[in-house]
Amino acid sequence: MAAPFTRVYRPFWRIITTTKSNRGVRNVSYTSQQWSAQNVKTAGAASPWALHGAVCVQRLPVVTQDRSPIEEEFMELMQKMEFERSLLADHELKLLDDAALMSRKQEGDYDSDEEDDYRDKDIVTAQDLEDIWEQKLKDFQPALRSQGNDQKDASSSERCLADSLILLVKKDVGSQKLWLLPQIQWQMGETLRQTAERALASLPGADLKATFLGNAPCGFYKYKYPKDIQKEGSVGAKVFFFKAVLSSHKHLPLEKNSFAWVKKDELQDFLKPEYLKQVRRFIMAL
Amino acid sequence: MAGIVCRTASRIISSQASCSSSVVAVRHSHWFTSMLSLKTSVPLRAEPKKRKKVDPRRELMVKERLKKKLKKLEKVPPEMIPIEDFIKSAKGFDETRVREAPDLCFEESERRALLLKEWSRFKRSQHQTEMHEIQEALEAQRQALEELKLESEELYKAAVSPDTDIFPFQHDGPCYTPPLTNYEAPEGKYNDITRVYTQ
C-alpha cells in the first residue's frame, strides 16, 4: 500500500510525496521514481543519522617538488649518458669551425682568400651567440620558488607551492571548537554534492571557485552525539566528503584563526585522531 | 513586284529561245557558264566542300582518346603524405658529427651500475606507495557509497550517476617557478617553416 503520508492513491511500487514531512529527521523525497517493494522507506522507519556534506578543497601544487638526493644523482647520470651517446649538434660544429678558423688566423702565413667560404669579419660567431643568450637569461628575473612564509601563515594559500594544500575551518561542534573540513547539514531535495557545494559557498569571507570531481563521495565519517544531546531519533551524524580542485589562483586573504591551508603531514596538528584516520585515506599527497 | 518578275521571266524565256542552240553546244563544258546560273568564278567552285558528318566524329574521337589517357594517368593512387617524424634525417648518419667515446675508469662504471640498481629499488618503493594510496582511496570511496546506500537509495543513485559537466577539464600543471604577476611576455617573431602537404 502507499505510504500513509500520500494523499492520492498510487500503486504501491511507486511513491510520490506531495507533502514535506515535518519531522525533525530527514525524510526521503522522490520525484516519480520506480521502486522495488523491498526498498520502500516509509516515514516511520527514518534513519537516526543526520546527513552532512563536506568538501575537501585542494590547491594543487604550483611549483615542482625539489628532487631527493638519489633523484638528483640519477638525473645527472642520465644527462651525462645522453650527452656521451649523442652526435654533435649544428651549434657545436659551428663552434669547432670557429675555433679552427681562429687558430688558422693566428698562424703567420694566413691568407683569408684561401678560405672556402669567404666570411665577413662582422659575422657573429657561435661563441658570441652563446654569450648573447646567457646575457638574455640573466636579464630575466623569475619569481622565487618558495616565498619563505611556509611556517608562519597557515591561512595563506600561497604557502608551500610545491605541495597540494587542503582547506580547514574552525567550527563550533557542540561545546568545542574543532578544526574540520568545511561541512554543512544536508537539506531535503538536494543531492549530497549540492550540499558540499553549498558548504564551500557558505564559508564566510571566502570567495573560492572549485571544480568538483564527480558526483560520488570520496569518503565518509560517522560519529555519535554525546549522550546528553542525543534526542530520540538522532543517534549521530554521517559526514560525506567530496573532492574539489581549486580553480582560481588569487584569493583574498582569509581569517587566520578560522581558516587554514595545510599539507597532508600537517593535518595531524589540526584534526582529531579518529577524524584524521578517515580523512587521510582519500587525500593523496603524491 | 509581280509585274517585274513577269517581265524578267518573259525576257529570260525569249533570250533562252534565241541562243538555245549555242547554249546547248557549250553547256557541258565547265569553262562556259550558262546565263542562267550564278556568276561564279572558277576557283570558288573548285574548293572542296566541307564534309559535315565525318569531321565532328573525328574531333570527338580525338577528344575521347585524350580523355582516356587522362583517366589512365589519374588512376595512379595519390602519393602518401610522409610522416616527418619517421624520416631519418641525413644529419644522423653524418660521420663528421661523431663524438669521441669517453674513457670510463673502473670506479666510474661501478658507480653507474650501482646507482642504476639503487634507482630501480627507489622507483619500486615509490610505485608501491602510490599503488597503496590509490587502493586506500578507492576503498574509502567504496565504503562511503555503501554507507550512502544504507542511508538513502535516491541519494546513492544521484551519487553513482555520471557527471556530464566535469569534462572538458583543464588545469595548468606545476612549473619550475611560480607565475609572475603582471608579467608581459615579449612578443617573439618567428618564421613558420612547417611543410603543408595537400592530396
Taking the model in full, what pTM does it have? 0.68
Which strand (E) or helix (H) includes residue A259?
A: strand A259-262
Task: Going from the first residue of chain A to its last (286 residues), give the mean pLDDT of each consecutive group of 10, the final group possibly shorter.
Answer: 46 44 40 37 59 92 92 96 92 90 82 62 80 93 79 74 90 85 90 90 82 92 81 82 84 75 89 92 86
Nearest-Cα distance to chain B for A194, in Å, is: 11
Collect all residues with Cβ–Cβ distance below 8 Å to A216 and sequence separation of at least 6.
B141, B144, B145, B159, B160
> What does DSSP assign to residue A58?
E
CB A179 within 8 A of CB A169: yes
Residues 83-102 of B with CB under 8 A from A: 91-92, 94, 96-99, 101-102
SS3 B160: helix
**Dihedral angle computed from the Cα positions of residues A78, A84, A87 and A89, in that order, rounded to the nearest 10 degrees:** 70
CA distance, residue B195 to nearest chain A CA (Å): 21
Within 8 A of A63 by CB-CB distance, chain B residues are 174-178
The neighbouring-strand residues paired with A53 are: A184, A240
Rounded (10°) CA dihedral B40, B42, B47, B52: 30
Gap between the Cα atoms of A53 and A216, Å rounded: 11
State the Cα–Cα distance between residues A219 and B68, nearest whole angstrom: 74
CA dihedral B7, B13, B18, B20 (to 10 degrees): 150
Q: Residue A67 has what pLDDT?
A: 93
The reply to whether residue B144 touches residue A216, judged by beta carbons under 8 angstroms, is: yes
Cell of B120: 630501480
- Within 8 A by CB and 6+ apart from B39, the residues are B33
Are A85 and A217 contacting, i.e. CB atoms less than 8 angstroms apart? Answer: no
Residues of chain B with pLDDT under 50: 9, 17, 19-21, 23
Nearest CA of chain B to the CA of A46: how many Å? 9
- Sequence-separated (6 or more) residues with CB below 8 Å from residue A272: A178
Task: Retrieve residue A162's grid coordinates.
Answer: 610545491
**DSSP per position, B24-65:** HHHTT-TTS--SSS----HHHHHSPPP-TTHHHHHHHHHHHH
CA distance A107 to A110: 6
| Residues 101 through 160 of chain B touching chain A, CB cutoff 8 Å | 101-102, 112, 115-116, 118-119, 122, 130, 133-134, 136-137, 139-141, 143-145, 147-148, 150-155, 158-160
ipTM rounded to 2 decimals: 0.74
Q: What is the CA radius of gyration of chain B?
A: 51
Query: What is the rounded CA–CA span in Å between residue A196 and residue A200?
Result: 6
Residue A221 C-alpha, separation from nearest chain B C-alpha, in angstroms: 8
Residue A46, C-beta contacts closer than 8 angstroms, at least 6 positions apart: A23, A25, A26, A27, A233
Least Cα distance to A61 among A166, A133, A142 occurs for: A166
Cell of A242: 567530496
A63: left (phi over 0), alpha (psi -120 to 50) or beta: beta
The per-residue pLDDT for B64 is 94
Q: What pLDDT, on a 0 to 100 scale, did the predictor assign at position B144? A: 94
- The verdict on a CB contact (< 8 Å) between A87 and B178 is no
Mutate to test the interface with A, among B89, B147, B156, B164 (most CBs of A within 10 A): B147
Nearest in space to B137 (alpha carbons), one of A142, A73, A220: A220
Rounded Cα distance, B155 and A39, in Å? 13
Q: What are phi and psi of B60, to 5 degrees?
A: -60, -40
Strand A219-224 and strand A236-246: the pairing is antiparallel
DSSP string, A99-156: HHHHHHHHSTT--GGGSSS---TTSPPHHHHHHHHHHHHHH--PPPS--S-TTT-TT-
